Each structure stands twice: as structure tokens, then as C-alpha cells.
Copies of this chain bind each other. A is one copy, B any other.
Amino acid sequence: MNTPLNPSNLADAINARGFSHAAGFRINAIQPGSAEVSLPRRDDLLQFFGHFHGGVITALADQAAGIAVTSGLPKGRIGVTVEIKVNFLSPASGNELVARAKTLKMSGSIGVATVEVFSKDGASETLCAFCTATMRALDLPAEFR
């Protein structure tokens, strides 16, 4: 028997598959229009200089943006990424990444979110990346409901 999907179930489902699951993304908080997702450091997530890989930072930001936008949509709808843009501001050299996304605007089926990504070392956080993402709301295909 399937549990009916609510925003948090859908976010959990998004997060429990494929790359998000393999990399170890953790959903810390969800509210309609906002989300926090974190990722502990692991050697297979780094780049040449030993910091988190830009693509991994982008994946985390994308996931947070998708959950933030989706959590503000009616049940049965999901936000998919039209485009994403990330500025890398300082080396992501901490033990953990934390991405905090919020929806700036939903207009028709288009949503725009911003995401701040922090590199965390113990209690200290440094803003390491800033992201904007444009999302499109779709009906969740029947096989995923």
C-alpha cells in the first residue's frame, strides 16, 4: 500500500532516487516556497583541488530549488528545471554543504527560486555559491503518484 503523497512525501521520493540518494542529500526542512537540503563531504563528491565539485554544488542547489517550488504547488504537480545559474563565491572546503532555497515568484506555470549554498565547518558557515533557478510546473506523471 502506498502512502498518499503530500509535499514532504514527494520531496522524500524525489530525494530517495538516483544521484540524490547515492550522493547522500538530506532534506532538513520544507515549507511552502522554501527548502533546506544538506550534503556531508565525501571524497567522491570533490573536484581537483579537494573542494566540493561545482556540479555537485549545482545538483544540491537544484534539488533545494525544486523542492521549494514543488512544495508551493497543488498536490499532483512538480517543478522541473528549465535553467539554472550558479555563481561560485568561495571554495567549498567545509565538511558539509547546506543549500537554502526560496521561491521568489510563481507566475502561471513558471517559478523562480534563489538558493544560497553554504560551506559548513562545525558551527561556521561561509556562503560558497549563489544560484537562481527557473522551474516549470508539470502534472506528475501517473506512474509517480
Contacts and interface: CB of A to CB of B under 8 A. Distances in A.
Interface of A: 13-14, 17-22, 43-50, 53-56, 58-63, 78, 80-90, 104-105, 107-108, 110, 112, 114, 127, 130, 132, 134, 136, 141, 144
For the complex formed by this chain, how many copies does it contain in all?
Answer: 4
A57 to B, nearest CB: 8
A77 B73 CA distance: 27
A17 B141 CA distance: 37
Given A54-B81, A83-B86, A136-B110, A44 B19 contact: yes
Contact of A105 (B13, B61, B127): B127
A87 B110 CA distance: 11
